Structure 1
Amino acid sequence: MFGAPAAAEPVEPLAHESEARSNGFHCVAGVDEAGRGCLAGPVVAAAVILPEGVDLPGVHDSKCMTAHAREEAFRIIQRTAIATAIGVVSPAVIDRINILRAALEAMRMAVMALDPSADFLLVDGIHPVPAGIPQRTLKKGDRICRSISAASVIAKVYRDRIMGAYHRQYPAYAFDSNKGYGTRDHLSALRTVGWCSIHRMTFKGVCRP
C-alpha cells in the first residue's frame, strides 16, 4: 500500500489523485460501496477513473445528495470518466462470508472490471481492496476525494435501481423508498410478513418464522 490511511481533513478534491500521479501512477481509480448497512439486497461497489485534472464540482458524497442530483451526476460521470465498473455481491454470499468481506469482494470485482485497468486505487474507508494493486485508504474518502465521490454516486444509483426492481417483486417491504435499510416501516413489514429471498438472514432485525 502506498502510504498510510489518510484522515478526512479538508483537502482540494483532486489532491489525492494528483499525489498518486506525481508518484508515477497514471490510471487512478476511486472505489466505494453502497448498501453495507442494509437488511436486504446486495452490496454494490463501483470503481471510477476520472481524466487527469477534470473536476466534477456537483459530485459529492452520495449520501449528501438528493436522488435527482445523484441521477444527474450518474449521467455526467458516465459521460466524463475514462472508465467505470460495478461489482455486486448477493445477500446469500453476504450471509456466507460476512458483510465486510462481501463489500471488499464487490470492490475487487469492480476494480478488476475496469478497462483500462487501474494502476492505483483510492479506497473509501480503512480496509484495502484485495486486488494486488497499490492503493491508499481514505477515512470518509467520499467526502474529500472526487474519484471516490464519483464511485459512491455510481454505486448508490446502481444499487437503488436494483432495489426499485425488487420493490416490484416484493411490494410489502417498500424497497423503492427504504432501499433495504432498517426503517420503521421495513422492520414492521418484517414482523408482520416475515423475510423474503433477498433479506440478509445473518443481520439483526431480520425476522425468521
Structure 2
Amino acid sequence: MKSDFTIAYIKELINNEQFTEEQYIAFQKDSRKGVQKLLEQYEKKQKHKRALQHQFEEMQSFEKHYFQEGKQYIAGIDEAGRGPLAGPVVAAAVILPIDFHLVGLNDSKQLTGSNRNLFFESIKQEAISYGIGVIPSEVIDELNIHQATKLAMRKALSQLDPFPDHVLIDAVELTDISVSYDALIKGDTRSISIAAASVLAKVTRDRYMETLHNAFPEYQFGNNMGYGTKEHMQAIQEHGITQYHRRSFSPVRKAIYGGE
C-alpha cells in the first residue's frame, strides 16, 4: 500500500511538520521504503527533542525551588579559562526571567560553536541582567588562578542590576558575597542559569582569544584558545612568550627556563 503523495512531497510535509494526524497514519501504512525511512528519521528527531525538553526542565529545578521560596532574582555564575596557559580567565553572571525557555541550553563545552553563538545572543537579549568579569594573565600570576577566578566572578556579579537575592555558582565557594548561594558541582549541567553564564563566559573568552590570534598568529590562539597543545608549546619554545601568557603556570615556566 502507498499513499497518493510522492516521496518528495511527503518529505516536505514531514520536515516542515505540516501533516495532519490522518496523513501521518497513512504514511505509516505506506509500504515504500523511502517513506518508512522518513518516518524513522522523524521519530528519531522527535525523541531527541523530547530528551532536550526533559533535560531543560530538569535543569530548571534549582531556579523553580527558589522562585517558590519567594526569591525574585536568581543569578547563575560560571567561568571559562581556568586551565589555559595564555589569556584571561572570564566569568559571567546572569539573571534569567522566570519564563526563560531555551531548549538545548547546556554546559557551553557540550554545545557546537554555532549553537554557542546563537545562544549567546539569545541569552543577552532575554536576560534580566548579565555581567562579565575579565581578569588578565598578569593578575592571575599575582593572585593564582583560583583567586583570580573568584575575582572574575565577583566582578561579574557586581555588574548585575537588579542585584540577585540568590546565586547559583558552578563549584566555587564565594563566601564573601552578601546574598545566599549554592556552589553546585557540575552546575553548568544542572542549572539553566549557570549554563547560560557558561555560554556568556566561554563565547566572550573565545572571541578575545581570536583577537589575540590575529596579533600573534604563530601561537594559533584561535584554535587552541590558549591551552597547552603540542603546537602551542612548540611555538613558545621557538618564539618565547607574549605578555598574555601565564608565567606562573608550570608548563610555561618549564618552556622558558628548561624544567625549573
Structure 1 counterpart of 2:28: none
Structure 2 counterpart of 1:88: 134
Task: Indicate the SS of the match to 2:250.
Answer: coil
Pairwise CA RMSD: 1.4
Structure 2 counterpart of 1:47: 93
Residue 204 of structure 1 and its aligned partner are, at CA, apart by 1.5
Q: 1:148 aligns with which of 194, 197, 217?
A: 194
Structure 2 counterpart of 1:119: 165
Q: Which residues in structure 2 correspond to 1:1-209 (within 5 Å)?
A: 12-128=58-174, 130-206=176-252, 207-208=255-256
**Distance (whole Å) between structure 2 residues aligned to residue 130 and residue 173 of structure 1:** 38
TM-score, length-normalised on structure 1? 0.92
Residue 192 of structure 1 and its aligned partner are, at CA, apart by 1.4
Residue 126 of structure 1 and its aligned partner are, at CA, apart by 4.0
Structure 1 counterpart of 2:11: none
**Distance (whole Å) between structure 2 residues aligned to residue 158 and residue 190 of structure 1:** 24
Residue 129 of structure 1 and its aligned partner are, at CA, apart by 5.7
**Distance (whole Å) between structure 2 residues aligned to residue 117 and residue 190 of structure 1:** 43
Q: Tell me, which stretches of 5 or more residues in structure 2 are unaligned? A: 1-54
**Distance (whole Å) between structure 1 residues aligned to residue 175 and residue 184 of structure 2:** 12
Which sits farther off after the overlay, 17-26 or 140-149?
17-26
Answer 1 or 2: which has greater helix percent: 2
Count of matched residue pairs: 200
**Distance (whole Å) between structure 1 residues aligned to residue 163 and residue 182 of structure 2:** 17
**Which structure has more RCO (C-alpha within 8 Å, separation ≥ 6)?**
1
Does the aligned pair in 2 maintain the 1:59–1:146 contact within 8 Å?
yes
Determine what percentage of the aligned residue pairs are the same residue.
Answer: 44
Q: Which has the larger radius of gyration?
A: 2
Q: For 2:101, give the aligned amino acid.
A: D
Residue 22 of structure 1 and its aligned partner are, at CA, apart by 2.1
Residue 141 of structure 1 and its aligned partner are, at CA, apart by 0.3
**Distance (whole Å) between structure 2 residues aligned to residue 145 and residue 176 of structure 1:** 29
Does the aligned pair in 2 maintain the 1:120–1:134 contact within 8 Å?
yes
Inter-CA distance 86–126: structure 2 relative to 1 (3 Å threshold): closer
Q: Where has structure 1 moved over 4 Å in runs of 4 or more? A: none
1:21-40 Cα distance to aligned partner (Å, 9 max, x none): 22221100000000000100
Does the aligned pair in 1 maintain the 2:150–2:172 contact within 8 Å?
no
1:177-200 Cα distance to aligned partner (Å, 9 max, x none): 111011111111112111110000
